[in-house]
Amino acid sequence: MAARALLLASLVLSCFLLPACYGTVLFSSLQRTLEVTASPTSGQVLKGGVDKITVTWGLNQTVAAGTDSTYKTIKVKLCYAPISQVDRGWRKTVDNLKKDRTCQHKIVARPYNPANSTAQSHEWTVERDVPTATYFVRAYAYDADEKEVAYGQTTDAHKTTNLFQVQAISGRHVTMDTCSICFSVFSVVSLFGFFYNEKRRAKRPQ
């Protein structure tokens, strides 16, 4: 009885100590097996809703054969660089990928193709709602259970190289601004015209 109780206690403790018992994946547990490149040059500024990014990804050819045997899907994401995470808890990097807020903007998701593991690409227009910030691109490989099993990114491990910026749209349009100015001028002119006519009428002999 004591032995069974000890075994049960050990199993329960293991589930608390091992995130895998809860299906949790830690970023630190993933291997960097994907090669990822993106078209923006270091320091380049892209405009939301206008500019495009071409992303290319594939399996690093130096890894052992069969490394990608569990890969089923590749998801490519736009991720915040550390400089754009400072004092912004909603962008915080957390080792637990379920809680991680580094990569919030989906670029593309595709089935993994082992027969073409060295060259897959996608052209993506930077969405209008992407906030102004500094970014890099990361790709995750997922298994059949939709769990992250590997990754690759366009920057180094410290996320300090090959970074680029996105400038969000202001929400205003040149045509709208022009119409607003014209309407304001028309309103002022109409107001002066009204007062001028009223003044002339007041001066007319009764």
Mapped onto helix, strand or coil, the DSSP state of residue 17 is helix
Cα separation of 50 and 33, whole Å? Answer: 32
Q: What is the pLDDT of residues 116-174, one digit of tens each?
A: 877 899 999 999 999 999 999 999 999 999 999 999 999 999 999 999 999 998 654 44
Partners of 65 in beta bridges: none
Angle at 52 between CA 93 and CA 35, to 5 degrees: 55
| Residue 9 predicted with pLDDT over 80 | no
DSSP state of 49: T
Cα separation of 148 and 150, whole Å? Answer: 6
Cα separation of 97 and 183, whole Å? Answer: 51
pLDDT at 16: 46
The distance between the two most distant Cα atoms of the chain, rounded to a whole number of Å, is 117
pLDDT at 120: 92
Average pLDDT over residues 113-117: 82
pLDDT at 121: 94
Average pLDDT over residues 103-108: 98
Q: What is the pLDDT of residues 56-93, one digit of tens each?
A: 999 999 999 999 999 999 999 999 999 999 999 999 99
pLDDT at 12: 42
In angstroms, the first-to-last Cα distance of the chain is: 116
Average pLDDT over residues 166-195: 58
pLDDT at 176: 44
Burial class of residue 205 in the structure, from the number of CB atoms within 10 Å of its CB (0-12 exposed, 13-18 middle, 19+ buried):
exposed
Of 4-8, 24-28, 150-154, 197-201, least confident by mean pLDDT is: 4-8
The answer to whether residues 64 and 99 touch, using CB atoms and an 8 Å cutoff, is: no
The answer to whether residues 140 and 75 touch, using CB atoms and an 8 Å cutoff, is: yes
Q: What is the pLDDT of residues 13-62, one digit of tens each?
A: 444 444 444 579 999 999 999 999 999 999 999 999 999 999 999 999 99
